Amino acid sequence: MTDILQILILGLALGGVIALMGSGLSLVFGVMRIVNLAHPSLIICGAYVSYWAFKLWGLDPIATLPIAALIMAAIGVLLYRLMFESQAKSARYSEMTVLLTFALAMIVEGFLGAAFTNTQRVTSPEYATDAFFIGSLFIPKGQLYAGCVSLAIIGALTLFLNYSRLGYAIRATTQNREAAELLGVNVNLISMIAFAIGIGLAGAAGSLVSFVFSFFPAKQWEWIAMLMSVVVLGGMGSVLGTVVAALLLSVIAAFVGAWVGATWSTMTFFLALFVILLIRPQGLFGEKPELA
């Protein structure tokens, strides 16, 4: 019984981080209909920011999270301007943007690999290897902190989307881009802001990831499939759905990892993706299949 509880706790804590990793992806898809395959590579960029800040100056990764987020958001603006703005009127928008983000993922991976090599990195603040003990349960501090910070950020994001004027405009653009434009929303600006927020979230997630997982540039492909299965299960574009899906899948993965074997734990996400596509292509919260 404590066994099960133990696995559940570990799964939920990791799930929180994965939710944050996926939320930016979901936001960008929701507003701009871009499946950002480069998202994980940008998370890894964020992770490097916190990694070097820790390694060089001993700065705590949670403390450097806002910095990583801001840097990545700025990069997001740049990427939007350079690559995606001009695609808005393309007849094959969704295909073009996916391929562009795919190419971007390769550029980032190649760049990071050339700059920092493909060795495994991990930031190691004290709490990363420490744990709380409650009876016979142990809760690793690193994962707990990361999970809580993630959920706090997602909570703030949800409040922002639901109650601010900007959030209102973002949601309207998500539902019907053309209509929002006709009612006076500057959809291009809104898209840029949403994209920057999404990439900023990737940066924030990167800071947390840097001490929860080990990372290296090529790790992104594993994460792409993992995050995509979360986002698809959550119903492409719904941030809430992403959170629920992340928690659900990572708990299942934790059980699979404990009972079947660590290799199969990552496999859970990929197989889940197939199962979802097979029985409910629109995901848990989506309303109709994504036929772009």
Residue 182, interface with another protein (CB under 8 A)?
yes
Helix, strand counts (H, E) of the chain: 11, 2
Residue 162, interface with another protein (CB under 8 A)?
no
Closest distance to another protein from the beta carbon of 37 (Å): 8
Q: Which residues between 36 and 65 bind another protein (CB under 8 A)?
A: 37
Nearer to another protein, 114 or 148 (CB): 114
Residue 159, interface with another protein (CB under 8 A)?
no
What end-to-end distance do the CA atoms of the chain give, in Å?
Answer: 46
Residue 184 half-sphere exposure, CB side, CA atoms within 13 Å?
Answer: 3
Nearer to another protein, 177 or 248 (CB): 177
Cα 291 off chain centre by: 23
Residue type, 139: I
Which of 6, 94, 124, 214 binds another protein (CB under 8 A)? It is: 94
Residue 105, interface with another protein (CB under 8 A)?
yes
Q: Which residues between 219 and 238 bind another protein (CB under 8 A)?
A: 221-222, 224-225, 228-229, 232, 236
Residue 284, interface with another protein (CB under 8 A)?
no
Closest distance to another protein from the beta carbon of 79 (Å): 10
DSSP 8-state secondary structure symbol assigned to residue 288: S
Residue 85, interface with another protein (CB under 8 A)?
no
Q: Which long-range contacts (CB under 8 A, 24 or more apart) does 112-120 make?
A: 112/41, 112/44, 112/45, 112/48, 112/217, 113/217, 113/218, 116/48, 116/217, 118/216, 118/217, 118/218, 119/216, 120/214, 120/215, 120/216
Residue 111, interface with another protein (CB under 8 A)?
yes
Residue 247, interface with another protein (CB under 8 A)?
no
Structure tokens at 96: 């073009």
Nearer to another protein, 111 or 259 (CB): 111
Closest distance to another protein from the beta carbon of 286 (Å): 10
Contact at 8 Å (CB) between 206 and 153? no
3-class DSSP state of 32: helix
Angle at 108 between CA 102 and CA 114, to 5 degrees: 135
Nearer to another protein, 24 or 61 (CB): 24
Q: Which residues between 264 and 283 bind another protein (CB under 8 A)?
A: 266-267, 270-271, 273-274, 277-278, 281
